[in-house]
């Protein structure tokens, strides 16, 4: 079992909050980009994470801003 999700090279560290009955993913491989998404199910979490990454890239590109590229994480 993995505790990360990824989309377009960006990786999110997944955590479970049993009290809130929610899954969270925090972006971990793009310096200076702070983002956490949530979902009630794995499918919702993956959709939320992927949608945010796509919106981030599209929004910054359209505005002429530099998109922070994901870094390759070292194997554990």
> Has residue 74 been placed in a domain?
no
Q: Tokens 């971990």 — which residue?
A: 28
* Domains identified in the chain, total number: 1
> Has residue 68 been placed in a domain?
no
Give the CA distances from residue 41 to residues 17, 21, 38, 50, in Å, rounded to whole numbers and listed in that order: 12, 9, 9, 14
Proportion of the chain above pLDDT 90, given as a percent: 89
Please name which of 2, 24, 5 lies closest in space to residue 15, comparing C-alpha atoms.
24
Q: Kindly report, residue by residue over 28-44, the tens digit of the pLDDT.
A: 999 899 999 999 999 99
């Amino acid at each position: 079992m993995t505790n990360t999700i990824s989309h377009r090279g960006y990786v999110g560290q997944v955590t479970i909050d049993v009290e809130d009955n929610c899954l969270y993913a925090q972006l971990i491989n793009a310096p200076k980009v702070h983002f956490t998404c949530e979902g009630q199910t794995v499918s919702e979490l993956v959709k939320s994470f992927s949608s945010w990454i796509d919106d981030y890239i599209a929004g910054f590109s359209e505005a002429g801003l530099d998109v922070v590229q994901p870094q390759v994480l070292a194997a554990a």
